[in-house]
Structure 1
Amino acid sequence: MPHAGETPLLRPVPWFLATAPSPGSEMVERTAVTTLLDRCVDTHHVAMLSAPSGFGKTVAVSQWAARRARATPGSVAWVTLTERLTDVADVLRATLTALEGAARQRDDEAMLRALSAVYRSPTYDAAIAATAALASGVPVTLIIDDFHHARDTLAGAGLNSYVEHCPQWLRLVLLTTDTVGPELTRLRIHGRMAVITAKELAMTAEEVGTAAALLGRPVDAREAQTMLATTGGWPAAVRMQLLSGQDSPAFDADTDLTEYIRSAVLARLRPDLAEFVLSTTVTPRVDGALLAALWGRPDHAALISECASSGLFIERFGSPAGAVYQWHSMFATHCQSILRAQDPRRWRMLNEVVAQELQGRYPLQAVSHAILAEDAPLTTQILTDRWLELLLQSNAEALDRACIAAMSALGEHPELLMIRACCRDIAGDTTGARHLLARAKVLDPGQTMSPRMDFIAALTEVLVSNDHEAMTKAASCAEAWLDDRTVVGASVYPCALFLLGWANSRLRRAERGSAQLESAVHECTAAGMAELAERARQALTFAAAQSGDFDRALAVLRRGGITADTAPALWLTHDGDGIERFAEGWVHFWRAEVDAARDAFLEVGAGAGSGYPDIARAMLAFAAAAVGDRDSLDRAESALGRIADTDTHGVPWTSYRLTARARLAEARGEPSRALELAAQLVGRSHVPMMSALASGISCRLGDTDLARALARAATDPQAQPYSRVYGHLTVALLDTDHDELERALALGAEQRILLPFAEYPDTACLNLLIAHRNRTAHGRFLDDALVVTSRAGQRRERQGPAPLTPREVEVLTYLRTPMTAEEIAVRLSVSVNTLKTHQRAIYRKLGVANRREAVHAAGRLPILQPQNE
């Protein structure tokens, strides 16, 4: 199967789309076609039945499938595509659903387990690879009816690829109204595909006679031959002529089908049955509830059964849960034309009935019928009631199309423009999203917003805005409406909780975000939104980790939750892949398990998307610097180039990049560069964690004023616990302040926040901790801090000192002369402060405390030793 641009959602399709229609007893047994199909399937990988609508493809193949399934249960799987089930993701999940059904029929537990694993594939390509690797003990034939709905996705080369990736034990039977084009020549030349056309599907005179007898309208051989000549053996035309009676007008190539069905088919039915047909063909697929709503009388079940048994153009899909009936598309289309011309008011009323009935189960189909009903308020109401659920459960593209169709037919509406803005933003079209939002705001500038519109506008701003303050204001506005059920309906409430929880975690209001996401998990589960419940659970792992509640984050991770039908697709433009692995890495990092953190960030940073992968790329720099090996630093440096260079969706990417580059510069022995970058964080809002990490850089490099300023920002009472631990420890080391150290220990003890101590692997930190041993209320945690500090120091010793930069070699050369610091600074054209920064870096790398020791150590450096001529 071909590559998809984004990871699809892999969840089963509705049961009736993965169920073969029941062959009607009134249908002619197409023995010649089924024999030909046997031969094609046994000798080719693909059999394509290509013929116009009404040539009996579904009937013939359902007869063949029933016979095969009786002989070998579980050897046939059936899929019906629709106008809303068309792309590669849909074809894949429909295929998996059908294969599951076949596996259950043959009690194949191994296959069911394997299919369950495919559903949990993290990416589309992984799912394709897993499908191709499936093994089956028996050959299985997958029948895909109405394959023409996937023409845009699987045309030509797409179908070639689809066939190439199918397992060898799987045969394909494709039913389509499309012609077989030259792009499929390769499959045919290599014997991979057989084609059955209208010529082979046309009825014989004998079959015409059998069909007439089954319908209780027998004809003799001459009449059958005449009928064959006038219809060309087209099964639909044969059936219509038989249903219309002997005195009906002749059927030929120039016959107006709509008029023929009206005058020669419907007019021959009992008036109540004809009215029933016109009433129920307004939608192609009906079940008991929809039939009752459309007909409004208690005899709907008897009438639909009569339609099926009398040979009208309808197929029945049965299951223990009930039956679903599907009108033949050609017949339904012409009946709809008849009703629309005959009684426009009734046409609109029946479409409104369908829209009302389907809005809770199939909202997008309901929107289509509301548009046909020309009911703008109902169309808008369905979309605004269900938009957030559709948007967040991987139907953003279809939702966008529905809004476009609604506005094309019924005019622009601010709420629909806002919904479209969200759809475009989810798809990554941020420019289009902002234009749509701007149009919504100016469409009716004098109009007072209704509460519902205000709520939708706030959620749209949350999704589309890149400004922290604007997002914060919009999230607070949306939260204010949450308890008003006239504004936030039952299906919207769980979705809104998730979206606001997601937003608040992005805005670094992690405790609020965690609480909302926890509620979203329960509310979505109760509402049957399994995919969104799982998405909320995943987001909760990061929100809890980000808030500093590491134990809770790990508990949510252990809770798991992904099953075959709940594995959510990526929300690519906002989150990216790897949220749970990233949360794991985050906890590892702040607990000073830096090797595990580095591995997690490397894995997530290699993934798709710009959310968690980008944060992982930034965090990789800090983990790599803590690990210290050259390969990790090089990979971190490379990863930084992939991070967004502007702040988006409340995330300060510029501050992340800035701090990460400063940390790498420090690790590579470039103190001036590191301090120059760190200084740019001073005064920035909403970045306490970056301030904390940069305070460590500044403190280690000896810029006490900068370290103090950054530590002050990190210890803000609203900052995360780990940021405050780092900030308090920095101040404690700057001032040898035991009170500040105790604050760091008190904050860090509960969640074992040890990274800040590992960041100061020197005697100053060790001595301060040892001196504090008898003053603390957190002795066990202090011991842990001593251990990680010592281990970090040992790691640094094993790696050896960082090499001196060319500038530091130059400074050290002058330090060996009698020149004063001021004279050296003048000679190098730098300030005295910059010179002192270089001196501190040289002392740290050489492991010395002053200039005299540095001069002595310099004599042992190969680069500074005199060279023999």
Structure 2
Amino acid sequence: MAPVPHAKISIPPLPPEFVVRTALRAALDAGVTTDVTLVCAPAGYGKTLLLADWSRSSTAADTAWVSLYRDDNDPRRLWASIVAALAACPSVPPTSRLHDRWIWRADAQPEFLAELVDAVEAVPRPIRLILDDVHELVDPEAQHGVQILTQNHPAGMQLVLSSRLDPPLSLPRLRLAGRLRELRAAQLRLSLAETGSLLEKSGLRLMPAQVALLHQRTGGWAAGLRLAAFGVANSADRDGFLTQFSGDERSVADYLVGEVLSDLPEDVQEFLRVISISDPVPTGLAAELSGREDAGSVLNGLDHRTSLLSPIGQRRDAYIVHELLRTHLLADLRRQGLKRAAELHGVAARWWASRPEPVHALDHAAQSHDSKLLTDLLHRFAVPLILAGDHQPLRRALARAGAQAVATDPWLALTSAVAHLEAGELPAARGDLRRARQSWPADGPADLAVLRMVAEQLTTCVGEPVASSTSPALGVFDELPVEPELEALVRLSRGTARLERDDRAGARAEFEAALLLSRSHGFDYLTMQCLALLGAVAGTTGDMQTMRTMSIEAAAAAVEHGWECSAWSGTATAMLAYAALLRTETAEAERLATEGLAVGGATSPSQLRFALQAVRGAAAFDRGDRAGGLAELQQARSEFGDLPASPEQVAALAMLEFHAALLLGHSAAARTVLGWLASRTGENGELLMMRAWADATSSRGEHARSLLRPVLEGAVTALLPQSLVEAWLLETSLAVTAGERPAARRALQSALAIAEPLDALRPFTHAGPGIRELLVHQHGSFGASDAFAERALAAGAGNRTRQALLSERELTVLGLLPSLLSLDEIAVDLTVSVNTVKSHVRSIYTKLGVSSRRLAVLSAHEHGLLSGGVRPDALSEVVTGRIIQH
């Protein structure tokens, strides 16, 4: 046998930038229990370096390494190398037959292999034989010899094969027998963290976003990353290089051509070029683009041959081409002529449109340079894409269609208007609407009229009123369209129009019907819109539970689809923030309002920014930053000015600012808010409430009560249900001041009854001490509202630090003070002396800063010390017994 170069049977050295793959080392160690380990992946995935590192780190066996080349297809050279590698293992004794002179004869191959097996089995230590680059063996005789070795290899030898392709070694049989361990491209891809380590060891210190970009572009392909690192290191403009890095970069292209594509037949290379225009590539589209009926078989073969294509989906009927390979192929295709690439894009657009897959269809049509095809597809798919929330594909297609086409085609103008509205670009949307009116056909189709109606109503919602004479009337759509997407849009428009006319029941019915359609047909964006609108309707009718439920669902849908910046998501967030404010969840209200302002930014509609900023100001006021909170409320109203908004929204936010101003003694600021509300809404219950508040503050109680009377009796309607809670609480306070305790109790009962279903605790936090004292004394007499009354006492309890000053026994005694038990009876129940109880009571009075039992109970409620209940449950039966005895 011919002599073997030492380098051929030596473990290759590791480069300085090598990244240790601990998980893959462990996977290879686990392969010891199998007969054969196969490491199979395309060129550049680091197979050789992985095995070299593992060979050095794993000392459980000696390593016999053979690097295979094309000339190893001569069996004499192949087996000479294998024998030499085995003989070079440290554990092979000098007397081993492996050191003998071996002679290969083709007619004696079985005998040769049998003797080799016997010689290896006699070695006292396990050996792993690594055959690197097995794909180089194409000669049937050489392949057959390796196959025999896999089937009959020595018991003390693990066979490890590294290859770019699956070797012809009956792999299915080995898998079935549990004798095969496999590592493939998916496992060999570098993770994001490993990518960062490789780049850093290559001398590059990139930003995390740059590392992530390279990882995404290369798919964790080690060779691609090394080539990218080389290019970045030698580029004066790193950001520019990273942005443009693709498979057409010179070093990458050379590698792909030399190591991947050159091994493929020319017809297969051409097949890859034509399918490169699509990502992903369904087998049906591949057949359409290439004209090959066997496209599915070709794709499947390429997946197994190169691993640079990956099947997706359970049916494995579509493929993704590795991005660097795809961009290289696409650039190569364009070099053959832009016309051909455009024609292929046209084929792809029509194929996707027939499925129908509008996003892919429009993207390809935009690259086909066929303006008629693009316009036709925009007419066909605009409404479904709007309902699904796929606004970016619409914007890309409109940009490719051009400004002239948008200006002269009402379909495109209206589609552009809706896309601009959803992005918060109101001036651009106004221009589109103006162009749509100018180019409006005399007898346009119904779906075009629906689209116009929706676009104009959305524009109205964000502050641009539309003259009714220019907008299609709702009566045009008395007969609902058959198409579900058009029916859903008509329902949405009807609901919006009815909401503007204050027909809330009708609006709710239309929104519910639109929601049902949107959920049935996957109109995800419309689903979010309907949920937000249903939440708004519920809030204006006092159904706070439904408002919260709908708003939470709308916000969740926005997060799921990445629509947090949408005005509809912002609307849901604003309603949730306001509901949290009413429930006295101040921190949550402030958090939601701040997040809503941060996400929406300057592109949010003015009404939405006003609402969020006002809620945040009120929350800041409630948590103690009273001056800062009032300042933010005033700023929100000042910035909003005279822009349109619903009377309910104006009233809700005006009430927040007015009450804050009064509590701080800023009567002039309060009058300003009062005048602003009057100019925006006309006469209503909230205006009378504000005037009554102002009179009460100025000690004009009787006049204040006369102003309240029409609101309480229903002669003047309040815009908001929670305003009635404020009205009854003010009546309670005025009645207490006037010494009319029965009237005060009745008013408080009415306030609790209205507040409970609204979960409106906030009005009680700003109520005066007379109301809190009445809540304490009337505890247990509110019937069904008792539990809510206890929450109302606990709400806004404020400073709870006094609880730490009271001992555990003092807290126990404090819990019994609201009961009818005397101090003697408390002593008996606690099994202590009455003097001990008296000592605890005196300490409680001192720590709470009070002088009587009644004031101690009131103070305890105000500081949250009795928020869990007036009497401990364990003593309730004893207390009941004492009451019966009395």
Class of the TM-score when normalised by the shorter of the 2 chains: 0.5 to 0.7
- The 3-state SS of whatever aligns with 2:209 is helix
Matches of 1:368 and 1:410, distance apart in 2: 13
Q: Among residues 520, 545, 548, which one is paired with 1:551 in the alignment? A: 545
Task: Say if 2:658 is the partner of 1:662.
Answer: yes
Matches within 5 A, 1:249-268: none
- Which of 386, 389, 394 is residue 387 of structure 2 equivalent to? 389
2:437 is equivalent to residue 441 of structure 1: yes
- Once the 2 structures are TM-superposed, how far is the Cα of residue 456 of structure 1 from its aligned partner? 1.0
Unaligned runs of 5+ in 2: 1-11, 21-39, 53-182, 803-886
Give 2:424's aligned residue: 428
Report the Cα distance in structure 2 between the residues aligned to 1:507 and 1:563, rounded to whole angstroms: 28
Seen in structure 2, the aligned counterparts of structure 1 residues 590 and 318 have a Cα distance that, compared at 3 Å, is closer
Query: Which residue does the alignment assign to 1:329?
Result: 330
Give the deviation of 1:403 after TM superposition: 1.7
Report what 2:627 is aligned to.
Answer: 633
Name the residue aligned to 2:722: 722
Among candidates 567, 571, 580, match of residue 565 of structure 2: 571
| Secondary structure in 2 matching 1:700 | helix
Q: Secondary structure at the match of 2:372?
A: coil
Alignment partner, residue 300 of structure 1: 293
Indicate the SS of the match to 1:428.
Answer: coil
1:198 to 228, 244, 250: 250
- Say if 1:376 and 1:410, in contact at 8 Å, map to a contact too: no
CA-to-partner distance for each residue in 1:348-407, whole Å, 9 max, x for gaps? 7885455444544635325427862624662342343334135xx3x4344223123225
Name the SS for the 2:310 alignment partner: strand
What is the match of residue 25 of structure 2? none
Task: Report the secondary structure of 1:682's partner residue.
Answer: helix
1:162 aligns with 2:209: yes
**Deviation digits for residues 267-307 of structure 1 (CA, Å, limit 9, x no counterpart):** xxxxxx9xx998x7886764233356678x9x623587299
Q: Does the CA-based 8 Å contact 1:548-1:722 persist in structure 2?
A: yes
Distance in 1 of aligned mates of 2:184 and 2:251: 35
1:70 and 1:490 mapped to 2: Cα distance? 56
Q: 1:716 to 1:197 in 2, by over 3 A?
A: same
Distance 1:516 1:467, change over 3 A: same
Which of 297, 303, 311 is matched with 1:318 structurally?
Answer: 311
Match of 1:589 in 2: 581
Out of 434, 452, 455, which is 1:457 matched to? 452
Q: Tell me, in whole angstroms, the C-alpha distance in 2 between the residues paired with 1:734 and 1:789.
A: 19
Q: Which of residues 123, 135, 139 is equivalent to 2:194? A: 139
Indicate conservation of the 8 Å contact 2:495/2:511, yes or no.
Answer: yes
* CA–CA distance in structure 1, aligned partners of residues 683 and 418 of structure 2: 27
Deviation digits for residues 485-530 of structure 1 (CA, Å, limit 9, x no counterpart): 34xx445666777788789889987666666666666554443456
Partners of 2:19 and 2:197 within 8 A in 1: no
Match of 2:43 in 1: 63
Cα gap change, 1:349 to 1:552, in 2 (>3 Å): closer
Q: Is this contact kept in 1: 2:349–2:361, CA < 8 A?
A: no
Aligned pairs for 1:12-161 within 5 A: 42=19, 63-65=43-45, 67=47, 139=194, 160=207
Q: Secondary structure at the match of 2:677?
A: coil
Contact 2:528 2:558 survives alignment (8 Å): no
Distance 2:767 2:414 in 1: 50
> Any conservation in 1 of the 2:345–2:367 contact (CA below 8 Å)?
no
- Mapped to 1, the partners of 2:261 and 2:774 lie a distance apart of 99
Name the TM-score, length of structure 2 as normaliser.
0.51
Counterpart for residue 415 of structure 2 = 419
- Report the equivalent of 1:399: 394
Task: State the distance in 2 between where 1:188 and 1:380 align.
Answer: 34
Alpha-carbon distance in structure 2 between the residues aligned to 1:194 and 1:401: 22
State whether structure 2 residue 757 is matched by structure 1 residue 750: yes
* C-alpha separation in 1, matches of 2:213 and 2:277: 37
**What is the rounded CA distance, in whole Å, between the counterparts of 2:661 and 2:551 in structure 1?**
34
Over residues 99-132 of structure 1, what are the superposed CA-to-partner deviations in whole Å (9 max), with x where a residue is unaligned? xxx9996799xxxxxxxxxxxxxxxxxxxxxxxx
Shift of 1:164: 6.6
The 3 A distance-change label for structure 1 pair 591 and 540 is: same
Q: State the Cα deviation string for residues 647-703 of structure 1 (Å, max 9, x = none).
A: 657457876665544333212212243134313322533997964863564353357
Q: Does the Cα contact within 8 Å between 2:711 and 2:718 map onto a contact in 1? A: no
Q: Which residue of 1 aligns with 2:155?
A: none
SS of structure 2 residue aligned to 1:63: coil
Q: Report what 1:843 is aligned to.
A: none
Conserved? CA contact 1:458–1:474, under 8 Å: no
User: How big is the shift at 1:423?
Assistant: 2.0
Q: Compute the displacement of 1:634 (Å).
A: 1.6
Report the CA distance between 1:68 and its aligned residue. 8.5
Question: How far 1:413 sits from its partner (Å)?
Answer: 0.8
Q: Label 1:716 to 1:335 Cα distance change in 2 as closer, same or farther (>3 A).
A: farther
Shift of 1:460: 0.9
- Three-state SS of the structure 2 residue aligned to 1:317 is strand
Alpha-carbon shift at residue 414 of structure 1 (Å): 1.2
Deviation at 1:586, TM superposition (A): 2.7
Q: Could you tell me how far apart the structure 2 residues matched to 1:203 and 1:772 are?
A: 83
| Structure 1 residues 647 and 138: alpha-carbon distance in aligned structure 2, compared to 1, 3 A threshold | same
Residues 338/40 of structure 1: CA separation in 2 closer, same or farther (3 Å cut): farther
Classify 1:387/1:168 alpha carbon distance in 2 versus 1 (closer, same or farther; 3 Å): closer
Residue by residue, what CA displacement relative to the aligned partner does 1:197-236 show, whole Å, maximum 9, x if unpaired?
Answer: 636854799x69x988864xxxxxxxxxxxxxxxxxxxxx
CA RMSD of aligned residues (A): 6.6
Residue identity in the other structure for 2:366: S
Q: Is the 8 A contact 2:584 2:795 kept in 1?
A: no
Give the 3 Å change call, closer, same or farther, for CA 63–709 of structure 1 in structure 2: farther
Structure 1 CA distance for aligned equivalents of residues 721 and 185 of structure 2: 52
Higher helix share: 2
Contact 1:544 1:552 in 2 (8 A): yes
**In structure 2, how many angstroms separate the alpha carbons of the residues matched to 1:599 and 1:214?**
59
What amino acid maps onto 1:617 in structure 2? Q
Could you tell me the percent identity over the aligned residues?
13
Which amino acid in structure 1 is aligned with residue 330 of structure 2?
S
Instruction: Say which structure, 1 or 2, has more relative contact order (CA 8 Å, 6+ apart).
Output: 1
Q: 1:671 to 1:143 in 2, by over 3 A?
A: same
**Does 2:726 align with 1:671?**
no
One-letter amino acid matched to 2:44: W
C-alpha contact 1:601 1:620 (8 A) present in aligned 2: yes
SS in 2 for 1:64: coil
- Code of the residue aligned with 2:721 in structure 1: it is P
What is the distance in 1 between the residues matched to 2:762 and 2:582? 5
- Cα separation, partners in 2 of 1:707 and 1:103, compared to 1, 3 Å: farther
Give ranges in structure 1 of 5+ residues lacking alignment: 1-34, 44-59, 73-101, 109-134, 145-156, 216-238, 244-264, 266-272, 799-869
Instruction: Find the structure with the greater CA-based Rg.
Output: 2
Q: Check whether the contact 2:421–2:459 (CA below 8 A) recurs between aligned residues.
A: yes
Distance 1:463 1:672 in 2: 37
Structure-1-length-normalised TM-score: 0.52
Q: Distance in 1 between matches of 2:710 and 2:17?
A: 75
